[in-house]
Amino acid sequence: MLALTATLLIPINFWMIDALGVWRSSVGIGVGALSTLLLSSLLLKLLSQRSNQLNLIGLSWLHLGWLGGWAVWPVVATYLATIGTAANLNYRLSHPEQQSNAVSVTENSLESAGSRLLSFDRLAVLLSVVVLLFRSLLIVQVPPYELGLAAGICGWLLVSLTRNRSNLALANQTPVNQTSANQTPINQTPANQNLGQWVGFGLLLVGWAVSADRQPPLQALSISGLALWLIWQQITSTWKKEPLLALIAVAGQAYWLLGKLVPTETREAVLGQLSQRFSEQPISSGEWIGLGFFPFLLGLLLFARQLRRWQQPALSKVTTLLALALGGWLTIVSAGNAFTLALNLLLSAVTLFVVVSRRPRISSVVVTLTHVTGLLAVAAWINYLRPDLTGVAWFYVMLGAALAELMLPLLLVSDRWRKNTWGMSFCLFAGSYALLLNGWLLGDNWSRTSRLINKSSGIVENLPPDWIWLIVPVALTLVAHHRRSLHPTRLAQATMLAAVLQTPWLGTGWSVAIASFTVGTFCMLLNRRIWRSQWAALFTIGSGIAWVTSIVWYGLLRLGVTENYLLIHWAVEIWALWLLARLLVRQRGDLSALYQRAAQVWGGVLLTLLLLFGTLVAGSNLWALVGGNANVSENRYTLAAIILLIATLIESIRYRPAEWRYWSLAWATAIAVVISFRLWDWPIESVGIAFLALGLITQIAGDIWMLRRSPTRLSWHGIPLMYAGLGVILGHSATLQADSGLYTLVFGLILLGLGRRSVSSPTLLSRGQQEALNEIPSEVSNESPQQSPQNSLSFLSYLGLAAFSWGAYELLIYRLMQASGGQPGDGFTLLAGLALALAVLQKLLGPGLIRYFRVPAFGLRSLSQIHWFLGSGLAVSAALLELSQPAGIALWIAIALGLAAYALVTGNHRWTPQMVGLSHSAWTSLGLVEILLCAAYSRFAWFPDRTFLIAWGGLIACGVSTVVYQLPWQRWGWPQRPWRSLALWLPLTALIVALNVQVPTQTLLIVGAFYAWMAKQCDRVRLSYMSVWLLDWVLLRNVYHQGWLTALMAGALPLASIVGFSVLYVAQVDPCFDEVSKKQQRHWLRSLATVLVCLSALYQAETYRPMLLYAGITLALCTGLIFAGLALKVRAFLYVGTSVFVLQVIRVLWLFISANSLLLWAAGIVLGLAFIWVAATFESRRSQVTQRLEAWTSALATWD
């Protein structure tokens, strides 16, 4: 380090000699000369290599003369220093064998190579150059842009030296490792070497940055050349992608700097003249870049080709991709002007074509790119030469190009170009159609545009654009049938698509529509053997139908006949299509099968559309029948078409029955009925009757058919149901009428007839099976739902029964609406009676209905019970409303008792052995509730003295409950629990009802005795709580009458005693507390009850006078509790009684002491003596006291 410092001081001394002006005098000249000689000789001793010695002496001498008046000398001296140093060190690097002191392969040399970036001589030389640059920039203040190349040279030199040292270390690493096993290997890429390269490239970048904007940029170009030299060396040594990218980037900016060598005025003048010559608009400098950089693009492609020759495919691919990206960017840049864009695309297309032609294995993407670029170039030149072309003209151009591209595969030999042109033709077709559609949507004047094109470009005038697209399917069809055609199937598919795309222009005129359908039909017929597909057959048949229909429609218009005749033509087309399908069935081959299915599908589609249209017409007619306005002028033609359709359907069903044909026939018949009734101007109710008649007829006919033939069809079930539904809906379209219920009844009958059809076989049961089924005993048929005939249509039977019932309700409701007088509750009573009648009838006639209608017993019983629930609800509603007297009330009571009887009969095991839903107990309970409600209502209705009945109702209820409880209900068939529950809760219910009146004490005591007796009889101790509650009621009433509850002080103890002793009774007898785990809970409950009583007594002794009397009562109560606790072994009584007794005694003593102070001294003396005695004798009696306490504790633990 000291040697390096001494070496650097020598050029600094030369700097000082020049700065001090030593050369200005003769003495200074002598001193300066002697000094320079001595300093130069000193350098010969400090450095070992002769070239480095001379280099450093030259660097030192270059510090002289800076103040001599020659202004450019600092710059010259700096460049002489950097260039000379670079030449010297580079020469030494390229001729290492001429070094005088060659580095021997030793441990020291390797350690130096691994630890130091540069040798001592080179480091001294480089630092001397840095000193010179420092003086130029900071001291003399030379402009940085004048020293940009010097900085670049320094950077280049530093990178070269760093790489050389790294290569030397790598070369010498292996021998040393072989000679010395203990030596640590040297890292191939030390951090200081990477740092040296980064610093070197940084100097290059700084030098380029400060000089790039100078004109001309010679320094920046030189720096770019040095950078390219370094990067190329890196590429040739590693062949990696990163250096390649850097090389291309540096080369690109160098090419850009080359363009700046031309003076700005000259460049702008030349470009301005070219712009005026080739373009109507001025071309900006940015747009000229798209052409100016094209040589660089060619250079990249040539470089990629050379890389392939050097066996570097990966780098060649990267270079090619960069060239393609650059070409795209140049095209985008030049897109602002028509001339630059056209020329750029032309050059790009030629370049790509040359590349593709010289590389037979190039990617298909590049081929496509070449093709697209060529087409874009043609379009750009057309736009450049004729910029006034309209969208329609471009449509013609693009369509012509598409046709040409479609024909080229027939002429070309190369497969890749044939495939490419084939695909490109479809892209052009798509683009041309987009232009055509855009012009049609924008409403361009097609005829004017066509004339302009005719005058300017010679295109045929009498071919408007709405006709021109028909050329496409024709051309596709012709090419598809050529022997060299590519993918003829896809061409046939494209033909269909092209015919479909003609749709927007079908409305422009009859000739266009007929021609379009003609082209589509015949082209697809020609393609039928190329593309054998169901879609092709469907499109061909559909296009043919549209062709025939358009011709017929046009003919009707020309003849002046109404268009309604098309409806008849519609029906004829359906018949013709089905006839065609039959004829094709006789032909062999898959093609005939495809077209046969297509004819069937189109026949079905037209059938559906005609039925939907007929439905709309029928709906408008129904609206007219209801009272609205509708246009029914086409009724006759629609009816004729529907009649033809019905005939066609009948004939097709005779030929081949099918579900959809039956449904279609039913649909068409319904439409015909509606339209016919509208023509005859019959009311809408007549239509409903007709539909119900059709439903009944089809249901009966289906039954007869299924008895004789099989198999059955779903339509035979659905069609009668559909007719019946329509009939009942139309019959109820108006308000409720006298015959509305009849419609519902007929609807229910149809549903019942459908529901009795068996599922177990496709036909109805035969007569023998029916007779065998009728012989089934009623007991067996009522045993379970599973033993009744299973029927998947049984839900229709349920609906039929429900509809039949609803019809009965409708008839009754209509009669009620027409009736006058009476009360609102009377109507609800009659409806409840009807519900009861239906429930009873279904229950009585159940076996017969099950056998005939094949309804599971489960469903029939459920419906009967639903009627009962409905009747009960209506009866309750009637009771809440006002009833007429006395007939209305009598009728209500009779119906309510009938409902109760139904429930009781259902709840009896003998009369109703099998249950649905609710159990026997539930039904028995419901019947009893009905009886109670009836009795309660009749009591208010028939007995005027309600107060007496309510007051003594509890006593009467006890008598009734006693009788009910003793009767043998289980032996009679009813479950015993509902009756006994009634007996238990009837008296309580009577008392609850009488809460608002004064119930006699005798009634309360008798009811309480009844519940005590019931608790004994039932062995349910908790029923005695009712007795306790009633006894408390009596006691509280007496206390209240005595006036003890009016004052809080007087009523506290009686009230607390009643509550407390009641709680003590519950704690004593409740079974819940018999468990050992509930012992503590019983203790706390007793404690709370006892505390309530004792604290009430203590409170009353404090607040009532005479205090001693009430205190004595409290003490007596506590004493009784203490003795009770000791006798009964109850801890709560003992603890609470003792505690309150002590509190009361202390309170009395305190009052005496407060009245006489001497007693305080006496009490104090007594307590003091007691404490002294306890303290004196406690130690001697400790064991006895402890044993006694443990004995007491153990004994108390066993108490209750």
* Distance (Å, whole) CA 686 – CA 676: 11
pLDDT reported for residue 457: 45
- What pLDDT was estimated at residue 93? 64
pLDDT score of 1029 more than 50: yes
Strand blocks (E) in 452-548? none
Angle formed by the axes of helices 534-559 and 510-526, nearest 10°:
150
Show the tokens assigned to 1030.
């009633």
- Report the SS3 class of residue 522: helix
Q: Where are the alpha helices (DSSP H) in 212-240?
A: 218-238
Task: Based on the fold, state whether residues 2 and 128 are members of the same structural domain.
Answer: yes
Whether residues 1123 and 1190 fall in one domain = no
Terminal-to-terminal C-alpha distance of the chain: 106
**CB 657, CB 600: distance < 8 Å:** no
How many other CB atoms are found less than 10 A from the CB of residue 981? 14
What does the H/E/C string look like for 457-485? HCCCCCCCHHHHCCHHHHHHHHHHCCCCC
1171 and 1060, same domain (yes or no): no
Q: Are residues 16 and 37 in the same domain?
A: yes
pLDDT tens track for 748-803: 888 888 887 754 333 344 444 444 334 333 333 333 333 333 346 667 878 888 88
User: What confidence score (pLDDT) does residue 1013 get?
Assistant: 85
The CB density around residue 1053, as the number of other CB atoms within 10 Å, is 25
pLDDT at residue number 949: 62
**Can you give the pLDDT at residue 1166?**
62
- Is the per-residue pLDDT at 852 higher than 90? no
∠393-474-548 over CA atoms, to 5°? 110
Single-letter amino acid, residue 547: W
Question: Could you report the per-residue pLDDT of 143-158, keeping only the tens digit for each?
Answer: 777 777 787 888 887 7
User: What is the rounded average pLDDT of the residues 550-569?
Assistant: 80
Sign of CA dihedral 459, 463, 465, 470: negative
Tokens of 317: 């691919």
Is 651 inside any structural domain? no
Average pLDDT along the chain: 77
* 3-class DSSP string for 233-286: HHHHHHCCHHHHHHHHHHHHHHHHHHHCCCCHHHHHHHHHHHHHHHCCCCCCHH
Q: CB neighbours of 108 closer than 8 A, spacing ≥ 6? A: none
Asked if 73 contacts 139 with a C-beta cutoff of 8 angstroms, the reply is no
pLDDT in tens, 167-177: 555 555 544 44
Torsion of CA 161, 163, 164, 169, to 10 degrees: 130
Is the four-CA dihedral 914, 920, 923, 924 of positive or negative sign?
positive
Reference 601, options 585, 572, 578, 569; nearest CA is 578
Q: What pLDDT is recorded for position 462?
A: 44
Instruction: List CB contacts of 1060: < 8 A, sequence separation 6 or more.
Output: 1089, 1090, 1092, 1093, 1096
Q: How high is the pLDDT of residue 184?
A: 37
Q: Report the pLDDT value the prediction gives residue 886, as an integer from 0 to 100.
A: 74
Question: Mean per-residue pLDDT for 711-717?
Answer: 77
Residues 6+ apart with CB under 8 A from 438: 391
If asked whether residues 72 and 89 sit together in one domain, one would say: yes
Q: Does residue 984 lie within any of the structural domains? A: no
* Residue 245 CB partners (closer than 8 Å, separation 6+): 318, 322
946 part of a folded domain: no
Task: Say yes or no: 172 and 30 in one domain.
Answer: yes
* Structure confidence at residue 138 (pLDDT): 72
pLDDT tier, 194 (very low <50, low <70, confident <90, very high otherwise): low
Burial of 686 (0-12, 13-18, 19+ CB in 10 A): middle
Determine the pLDDT at residue 453.
44
The pLDDT, as a whole number, for residue 778 is: 38
Q: What's the structural domain count of the chain? A: 3
Tens of pLDDT, residues 17-28: 777 666 666 666
Q: Is the dihedral of CA 301, 305, 310, 314 positive or negative?
A: positive
* 485 part of a folded domain: no
pLDDT higher than 70, residue 313: yes
Same domain for 1056 and 1200? no
Q: Which amino acid does the sequence have at 1043?
A: G
Question: Do residues 1182 and 1055 share a domain?
Answer: no
CB neighbours of residue 127 within 10 Å: 17
101 and 119 Cβ atoms separated by less than 8 Å: no
Other C-beta atoms lying within 10 Å of the C-beta of residue 639 = 20
Give the residue among 1043, 1042, 1049 at the shortest CA–CA distance from 1100. Answer: 1049
Share of the chain above pLDDT 70, in %: 78
Output the DSSP codes for 1023-1077: GHHHHHHHHHHHHHHHHHHHTTTTSHHHHHHHHHHHHHHHHHHHHHH-GGGGSGG
951-999 tens-digit pLDDT = 677 778 888 888 888 888 888 888 888 888 888 888 888 777 766 667 7
Q: 53 lies in a domain?
A: yes
Residue type, 184: T
* pLDDT at position 340: 84
The residue among 1109, 1102, 1032, 1112 whose CA lies nearest residue 1065 is: 1032
- For residue 102, name the pLDDT band (cuts at 50, 70, 90): very low
Distance (Å, whole) CA 473 – CA 460: 20
Looking at residues 799-815, what average pLDDT do you find? 84
664 CA to centre of own chain: 40
Checking phi first, is residue 735 left (phi over 0); if not, alpha (psi -120 to 50) or beta?
A: beta
The model's pLDDT over 632-655, given as tens digits with 9 standing for 90+, comes to 556 788 888 999 999 999 988 888
- DSSP type of residue 656: S
Using CA atoms, how far apart are residues 939 and 993, in angstroms rounded to an integer?
Answer: 13
Residue with tokens 């060239």: 323
Residue with more model confidence, 1200 or 892: 892
Lowest mean pLDDT among 55-59, 199-203, 770-774, 1064-1068: 770-774
Q: How far is CA 628 from the centre of its chain?
A: 46
Q: Does 170 lie in the same domain as 79?
A: yes
- Residue 626 located in a structural domain: no
| Residue 470 placed within a domain | no
* Cα–Cα distance measured from residue 391 to residue 1198, given in angstroms and rounded to the nearest whole number: 113
Q: Which domain holds residue 126?
A: 1-94+109-176+190-211
Report the distance separating Cα 1081 and Cα 1072, nearest Å.
10
Tell which wins on pLDDT, 584 or 633.
584
Phi/psi of residue 231, each to 5°?
-70, -40
- The whole-angstrom separation of Cα 934 and Cα 929 is 8
Which whole-number Å values give the CA distances from 298 to 241, 277, 305, 369, in the listed order?
20, 26, 11, 17
Residue 1086 inside a domain? The answer is: yes
Give residue 667's pLDDT band: very low, low, confident or very high (50, 70, 90): very high
Q: Looking at 477-534, which runs of residues are DSSP E strands?
A: none
- Positive or negative CA dihedral for 1168, 1172, 1178, 1180? negative
Rg of the chain on CA atoms, in Å: 60
8 A C-beta contact, residue 247 and residue 235: yes
Quick one: pLDDT at residue 1082? 81
Of 37, 53, 36, 33, nearest in space to 45 by CA: 53
What is residue 611's predicted lDDT score, i.e. its pLDDT?
92
* Residues 6+ away with beta carbon under 8 Å from 360: none
Mean pLDDT in residue range 870-890: 83
Q: Which of 457-471, 514-528, 639-653 has the lowest mean pLDDT?
A: 457-471
Does residue 121 share a domain with residue 18? yes
Same domain, 146 and 88: yes
In a shared domain, residues 89 and 207: yes
Q: Which of 215, 216, 211 is nearest to 227 (CA)?
A: 211
Return the pLDDT at 608.
93
